[in-house]
Amino acid sequence: MSEPNHPLASRFAAADVYEKLTGGWPARVAKNLIANLPVPITPKSKIFDNCCGSGAVTTAIINSTHQKGFIPKINATDLSPGMVDHVSKLFNDFPEIETKIMDAQKLEFAENSFSHIICAFGVFFCPDYEAGYREMYRVAAPGSVTVITSWKVVGWLPLVNYVIKKVRPDQEDWTFPAPPGFKENEWVKERMLEAGWKDVEVREVEDYTSTTSETGDALISIVKDAFEGWTDEEKARWGPLFVEAAKVYGIPETSEGGWKLRMVALAATGRK
Ligand SMILES: C[S@@+](CC[C@H](N)C(=O)[O-])C[C@H]1O[C@@H](n2cnc3c(N)ncnc32)[C@H](O)[C@@H]1O
């Protein structure tokens, strides 16, 4: 059963805000994941883009296979109705692509359904992330490959906490709504092994986000719980302090007048 009013869904309600916020990493990382699959995608593949967001993984798959003359069957799902609506409009002309609002903790697919599962930066948002892993393993077919990503380095995190410390020195640092181990290679490997995958390997994917002060504003939807109880005056300090933080942390500037923040993904791959 989907939960359109789930708090996590509202964190990622708008695909356009999400794309602004990310500064292009979803497309680059997705391309990297698809180029490094240990089981090639063929016309017979059945692929699951779990927690699809604005559709970066599905887009990367289509871009790669289209050149080879085919488009595989892809199921793209997300808890956020805004994201699913965006992806379904994007691929309206592609009968191979099916979209649906779905909770990763309770997948509505039969067991052994997919030859490839990609869950890019999604499962760690599940309150019951172990259920998210178990569900993906259940729907993975024998011989399939699954790729699950998380973050080792999130370049904007210290900037958010710089702002918090300036406005409310006694407030605790903001942390990702994710299990504490999600930054660690061994921890993400262990989660996959525990759920049943074999031959699990973890590699780092170096990327970046291009941030402007506008992107800083877009971040607010992700970190909104950090501002709970803040006055309007305090909230208004976010923009200028974000700019100040970028200078203090020596973040390299881009030619567009923004900053280039390092992001390092962990891509864990397992076989069933
Ligand atoms: C950081 S985005 C990643 C989106 C996309 N895979 C990408 O690489 O750009 C995380 C996505 O996970 C979705 N999400 C969070 N919790 C979820 C859940 N329990 N079930 C399904 N999707 C969920 C959010 O709505 C959001 O679209």
Asked whether the predicted pLDDT for residue 254 surpasses 90, the reply is no
- 256 in any annotated domain: no
**Residue 131, domain member (yes or no):** yes
Between CA 183 and CA 266 the distance in angstroms is 8
Q: Is residue 215 part of a domain?
A: no
- Contact 192/117 with Cβ under 8 angstroms? no
Q: What is the CATH number of the domain that holds 22?
A: 3.40.50.150
> What is the number of domains present in the chain?
1
| C-beta separation of 259 from 251 below 8 A | yes
For residue 258, how far is its CA from the centre of ligand 1 (angstroms)? 26
> Domain limits at 21?
7-153+177-208+262-271
Give the model's pLDDT for residue 2: 36
Give pLDDT tens digits for 48-92: 999 999 999 999 999 999 989 999 999 999 999 999 999 999 999
The answer to whether residue 251 is domain-embedded is: no
Q: Confirm whether 168 is domain-assigned.
A: no
Residues 11-37 have a mean pLDDT of 79
- Is the residue at 186 inside a domain? yes
48: β partners? 75, 117
Q: Is the predicted pLDDT of residue 248 greater than 70, yes or no?
A: yes
Whether the CB of 74 sits within 6 Å of ligand 1: no
136 falls within a domain: yes
Supply the pLDDT for residue 180: 83
**Pocket mutation for ligand 1, best pick of 125, 148, 221 (most atoms within 8 Å of C-beta):** 125
Cβ atoms of 245 and 158 within 8 Å: the answer is: yes
Q: Is the CB of 148 under 6 A from ligand 1?
A: no
Q: Which of 2, 20, 78 to mutate to test the pocket of ligand 1 (most atoms within 8 A of CB)?
A: 78
Q: Fill in the DSSP letter of residue 170.
A: T
**114 in contact with ligand 1, CB cutoff 6 A:** no
Q: Inter-axis angle of helices 25-35 and 15-22, to 10 degrees?
A: 80
Any domain includes 25: yes
Give percent of the chain with pLDDT exceeding 90.
72
